[in-house]
């Protein structure tokens, strides 16, 4: 599985290319070995540089993983912003979950690692909290456009949006684990051809139904 690396841009600096190679290598190694087994030496070797050169960019394995999470979170934010511009609530729900499936298909292992480390690595925890807040706001906006009342209270759009956000996270977390087991690779891709696994699609369908039901849009 290749990481979310962008194509080489004209004028891209050698340092940018090396940093991208480090992050791409880290993502591949997480899929192959898991966080605990990956070493700085593994990452440096895979990126084609020395350990000393790697330390010029990152001070530790944890810093590499944090940067990898930040890169993946940036993709999350981009998808969320495009979903927020969708005015029709039903279309917004479908688009949000379609993009969620895409992200977990491509980067499920990084997402699971981020969730696992969010309570023990402050930088990753802060990134994940910001991401959750962004999605809660987007979900709340969709609910309000569908007619759910705004304001405080357990039946308000904000409280429902928060609950839906964490439900979606955990549903996809476990579905990604199932996809990784089915594939046998640990990366959560599922079939090796870039198509979404059945587990992720089933999680998406269930989350979509619950979200539409909360919004009063279920058929």
Instruction: Report pLDDT for 10.
Output: 42
> In this predicted structure, what is the pLDDT of residue 178?
83
- For the domain made up of 66-214, the CATH class stated in words is mainly alpha
Whole-prediction pTM value?
0.81
Joined tokens for residue 12: 């891209």
Ordered per-residue pLDDT tens for the chain, 219 residues: 334 333 334 445 665 789 999 999 999 999 888 899 999 999 999 999 999 999 999 999 999 999 999 998 887 777 666 655 667 899 999 999 998 998 899 889 999 999 999 999 999 999 999 989 988 998 999 999 999 999 889 999 999 999 999 999 999 999 998 877 766 554 444 333 344 589 999 999 999 999 999 999 987
Per the CB < 8 A criterion, the answer to whether 38 and 61 are in contact is yes
162-166 contact pairs (CB < 8 A, 24+): 162/136, 164/139, 164/207, 164/210, 164/211, 164/214, 165/132, 165/135, 165/136, 165/139, 166/132
- The answer to whether residues 73 and 129 touch, using CB atoms and an 8 Å cutoff, is no
pLDDT of amino acid 28: 94
Q: Could you tell me how many residues make up the chain?
A: 219
Per the CB < 8 A criterion, the answer to whether 199 and 176 are in contact is yes
């Amino acid at each position: 599985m290749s990481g979310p690396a962008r194509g080489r841009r004209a004028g891209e600096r050698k340092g940018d290319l090396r940093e991208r190679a480090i992050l791409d290598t880290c993502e591949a190694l997480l899929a192959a070995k898991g966080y605990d087994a990956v070493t700085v030496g593994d990452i440096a070797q895979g990126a084609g540089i020395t350990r000393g050169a790697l330390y010029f960019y990152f001070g530790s394995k944890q810093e590499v993983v944090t940067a990898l999470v930040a890169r993946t979170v940036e993709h999350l934010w981009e998808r969320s912003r495009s979903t927020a511009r969708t005015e029709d609530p039903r279309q917004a729900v479908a688009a949000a979950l379609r993009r969620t499936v895409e992200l977990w298909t491509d980067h499920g292992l990084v997402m699971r690692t981020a969730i696992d480390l969010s309570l023990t690595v402050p930088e990753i925890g802060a990134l994940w909290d910001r991401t959750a807040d962004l999605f809660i706001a987007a979900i709340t906006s969709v609910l309000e456009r569908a007619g759910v009342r705004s304001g405080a209270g357990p039946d308000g759009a904000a409280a429902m949006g928060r609950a839906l956000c964490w439900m979606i996270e955990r549903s996809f977390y476990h579905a990604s684990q199932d996809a990784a087991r089915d594939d046998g690779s640990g990366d959560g891709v599922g079939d090796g051809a870039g198509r979404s696994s059945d587990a992720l699609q089933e999680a998406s369908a269930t989350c979509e139904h619950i979200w539409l039901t909360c919004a009063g849009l279920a058929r």
